[in-house]
Amino acid sequence: MAPTTQAHEITAASRLENVRYAIRDLACVADEVVKQGHKVLPLNVGDPLNFDFQTPPHIIEAVYKAMRDGKNGYAPSPGIPEALEAIRGEAARKGITTVQDVFVTSGVSETVDLCISALVNPGEDLLTPSPDYPLYSAVLCKLGIGLNAYDLNEEDGWQPELADIERKLTPRTRGIVIINPNNPTGSLCTRQMLEQVAELARRHNLIVFSDEIYDKLILEDTPHLAFAAVAPDVPCITFGGMSKNYLVPGWRIGWGIVSGDAAAVKTYTEGVHRLLRARLCANHPEQYSIKPALEGPQDHLVEVKRKLRSRRDLTQKWCESTPRVSCVAPRGAFYAYPRIEIPESDEIFVNELIRQKHVMVVHGSGFGQKPGTQHFRIVFLPDEQTLTKAYVGIAEFIRERYGK
Ligand SMILES: Cc1ncc(COP(=O)(O)O)c(C=O)c1O
């Protein structure tokens, strides 16, 4: 019998049409440029290990030892007990007094996926910031949930715009996401803002997802404020992880801390645990790094923050002295989100910048922005020399393409 040939194209589900991840999608343009023999300056991906940052050796030892000790099978679905205990300790240090549950995931990425999937029914919605870290909209699109984004206000240091949140609330809104410190803007929520978001959550029976993955990378003297510490009664999942604070994004370890009124979060937390069981477990040996990371020496953070402050200052100075560019100074994490005044889209700007100057940043439309405004995101992780080279290239590009 003649072999049957596959005649039809296998299409992807249509709900994926709006799934975009601009940060990595740009890689295709960069690949072309590299094939032409150029070196690309990557100011696009927030991976400190691409630059002069090193993982604290004692946590590498802990994982190595776990592997040698045979911790290579499946772990318990919520995470290994010593990690869960260490995360509870960390929650207490963050001032969270109403912890109801903690669980370990494959990066904060999986926490985001599980927490949204366990919450939102078709026809309901979740308030997400605009601009936002694009995974939130990607997960919502994957689930077939319509986006409901609220604005961050550039004129107010990128604080959530309360009036816009009020406008966007619907009877079917189940929760609100805050990212603090923020990616892509580097902003920090003020105490007053957290209190106001808490008040909205109380009034509208919302759960708050507070993404605090950068909470140890604060570039100011003010301490980080955890939402759940400010609003202990409000149902909240605080997202935290190893990727950024402990310089191991490739290990894929994150966690969720459930807090708030015990009765209010009980059923939802059971839902999260169903999903935790269904996906078996997070990476097992890597979980042995959590306790030594959270409870051991934090010396690396001094060096990391020293470098980041210097690179942030250099970035800010460049933004302030470059025509057509302005920027709200970042206060945490390692991102700046400058605004540019140009007569074309920021997506064209970014694509042409890679092609002509071999500098890779990410366009504002990949994160969201108010109509009529254009931005790009800079990752200021590279050393001062590399950043200076990149900024000279961007300034030249702006001058040559748009004039002063
Ligand atoms: C705000 C935010 N949340 C979550 C993540 C995902 O982190 P993880 O590596 O823990 O999956 C990132 C990664 O860049 C991020 O910036």
**Per-residue pLDDT tens over the stretch 123-149:** 999 999 999 999 999 999 999 999 999
Q: Tell me, what's the pLDDT at 12?
A: 86
Examine the pLDDT at 6 and tell me if it is beyond 80: no
**Cα-to-centroid distance, 256 and ligand 1 (Å):** 13
Give the mutation target among 213, 239, 248 for probing the ligand 1 site: most ligand atoms within 8 A of CB. 213
For residues 343-363, average pLDDT: 94
State if residue 46 touches ligand 1 by the CB under 6 angstroms criterion: yes
Using the atom order of ligand 1, give the atom closest to the CA of residue 106.
11
Residue 169 token pair: 């609330």
Residue 355 has pLDDT above 70, yes or no: yes
* CB of 104 shorter than 6 A to ligand 1: no
d(CA 370, CA 354): 24
Q: How confident is the model at residue 383 (pLDDT cuts 50, 70, 90)?
A: very high
What is the per-residue pLDDT across 23-35, written as a single tens digit (0 to 9) for each? 667 888 888 899 9
Question: What pLDDT was estimated at residue 21?
Answer: 67
- For a mutational test of ligand 1's pocket, the pick from 133, 214, 283, i.e. the residue with the most ligand atoms closer than 8 A to its C-beta, is 133
Atom of ligand 1 nearest to the CA of 253: 10
pLDDT at 26 (0 to 100): 80
Q: What is the pLDDT of residue 72?
A: 98
Does ligand 1 have an atom closer than 6 angstroms to the CB of 286? no
| Ligand 1 proximity of 254 Cβ (cutoff 6 Å) | yes
pLDDT of residue 71: 98
Among 4-13, 38-47, 368-377, the minimum mean pLDDT is found in 4-13
pLDDT tens per residue across span 187-243: 999 999 999 999 999 999 999 999 999 999 999 998 899 999 999 999 999 999 999
pTM, rounded to two decimals: 0.95
251-296 tens-digit pLDDT: 999 999 999 999 999 999 999 999 999 999 999 999 999 999 999 9
Q: Look over the chain and give the mean of its residue pLDDT values, rounded to a whole number.
A: 95
pLDDT confidence bin for 403, thresholds 50/70/90: confident
Query: Is the shortest distance between the CB of 182 and ligand 1 below 6 Å?
Result: no
* Ligand 1 atom nearest to 241, measured from its CA: 10
Mean pLDDT of 159-181: 97
